[in-house]
C-alpha cells in the first residue's frame, strides 16, 4: 500500500466532502500519521471510511468524524484540552498538534497503555493519559478551554459545562441510536451557553456513560 496516496485519498474522498475545508485541519491530517495509532491487525483499514476495532468493544472514530470535530473546535496554541475516551490516542494527537496540552482520560487499562505507547512512539509530548472514569467530568486541571467526548451520551452531564472556561467549547455526540447529533457548546458567559448542532452520526456509547433519569413528576 502506498501510504501517502492512501492518506491523500482519505482526505480528498472522505474528509473534504464532509465540509472539512479548513486548510490548517487538512494539513494536520497529513502531519499526524493515523497509521501509527491503528492496531497492527487493522493496518489495512487505517484510512478506510469506517470505525476501527480496538478490542473490548471499543473503536476508533471514523476519520471524517474526527476531522470535522477538530475543525469545529478551532483549538488554539495556548489552550488546554480535556478528552474523555483516549482510545488509541489518535484524537488526542490531533488535538495536541493544535493545543498547549491535552489531558485524555481512558477507563480501560489496556487502551490507556495503547494510547500512551502510540503517543510516545510518535513523539507527542504534550498529552497526559489518565486512567479513570471521565464520563461525569474530570476535575483535575479544570476548568478547560476545550472538552471533547469521544463516545456518545444520551444527555450531556451538567458537570462538563461547569468544567469549561468562559469562551471554551465542548464537542459531544448526544442522543440515542440510530440518530445522534454532534453538538458544539460554547460557554459565552458565566451562566450562558450557545449550542450548535453540527452534524448527525451514530457512534458507540461512552463506556460507563451516566444513564439519564426518566422519572417524571
- For 59-79, write each residue's pLDDT tens digit: 999 999 999 999 999 999 999
Assigned domain for 46 exists: yes
Assigned domain for 71 exists: yes
**Spatial contact of 22 and 71, defined as CB atoms under 8 Å apart:** yes
Q: Quote the domain boundaries for residue 61.
A: 3-201
Helix (H) or strand (E) holding 168, with range, is strand 164-176
Assigned domain for 207 exists: no
> What is the rounded distance in angstroms from the CA atom of residue 149 to the CA atom of residue 19?
21
**Interacting residues of 155 by C-beta distance below 8 A, sequence separation 6+:** 174, 212
Nearest to 109 by CA among 173, 58, 75, 68: 58
The SS3 assignment for 123 reads coil
pLDDT at 206: 87
Query: How confident is the prediction for the chain on average, in pLDDT?
Result: 93
CATH code of the domain in which 138 resides:
3.40.50.150
Residue tagged 470505525 (cell numbers):
51
> What is the rounded distance in angstroms from the CA atom of residue 25 to the CA atom of residue 74?
9
Assigned domain for 213 exists: no
What pLDDT digit, counting tens, does each position of 103-135 carry? 999 999 999 999 999 999 999 999 999 999 999
Assigned domain for 35 exists: yes
Structural domains in the chain (count): 1
pLDDT at 179: 87
What CA–CA distances, in Å, run from 207 to 69, 149, 163, 182, 183?
A: 20, 11, 20, 18, 19
**Spatial contact of 80 and 143, defined as CB atoms under 8 Å apart:** no
Helix (H) or strand (E) holding 183, with range, is strand 179-189
**Spatial contact of 106 and 115, defined as CB atoms under 8 Å apart:** yes
Half-sphere exposure at residue 6, Cβ-oriented, CA atoms within 13 angstroms: 14
pLDDT at 56: 81
**Spatial contact of 34 and 63, defined as CB atoms under 8 Å apart:** yes
Whole-model pTM over 0.85: yes
The SS3 assignment for 107 reads coil
pLDDT at 177: 85
pLDDT at 132: 96
Q: Which residues of the chain have pLDDT under 50?
A: 213-217
pLDDT at 215: 38
> What is the rounded distance in angstroms from the CA atom of residue 21 to the CA atom of residue 46?
21
pLDDT at 57: 83
Assigned domain for 57 exists: yes
Assigned domain for 42 exists: yes
Assigned domain for 209 exists: no
Amino acid at each position: 500500500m502506498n501510504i501517502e496516496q492512501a492518506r491523500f485519498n482519505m482526505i480528498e474522498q472522505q474528509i473534504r466532502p464532509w465540509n472539512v475545508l479548513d486548510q490548517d485541519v487538512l494539513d494536520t491530517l497529513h502531519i499526524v500519521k493515523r497509521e501509527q495509532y491503528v492496531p497492527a491487525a487493522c493496518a489495512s483499514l487505517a484510512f478506510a471510511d469506517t470505525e476501527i476495532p480496538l478490542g473490548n468493544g471499543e473503536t476508533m472514530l471514523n476519520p471524517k468524524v474526527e476531522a470535522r470535530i477538530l475543525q469545529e473546535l478551532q483549538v488554539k496554541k495556548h489552550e488546554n484540552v480535556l478528552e474523555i475516551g483516549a482510545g488509541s490516542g489518535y484524537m488526542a494527537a490531533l488535538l495536541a498538534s493544535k493545543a498547549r496540552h491535552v489531558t485524555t482520560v481512558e477507563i480501560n487499562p489496556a487502551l490507556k497503555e495503547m494510547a500512551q505507547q502510540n503517543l510516545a512512539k510518535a513523539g507527542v509530548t504534550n498529552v497526559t493519559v489518565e486512567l479513570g472514569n471521565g464520563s461525569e467530568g474530570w476535575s483535575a486541571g479544570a476548568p478547560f478551554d476545550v472538552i471533547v467526548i469521544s463516545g456518545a451520551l444520551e444527555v450531556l452531564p451538567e458537570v462538563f459545562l461547569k468544567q469549561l472556561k468562559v469562551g471554551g467549547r465542548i464537542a459531544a455526540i448526544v442522543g440515542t441510536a440510530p440518530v445522534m447529533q454532534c453538538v458544539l457548546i460554547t460557554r459565552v458567559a458565566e451562566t450562558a451557553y450557545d449550542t450548535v448542532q453540527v452534524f448527525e452520526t451514530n457512534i458507540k456509547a461512552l463506556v460507563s456513560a451516566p444513564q439519564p433519569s426518566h422519572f417524571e413528576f
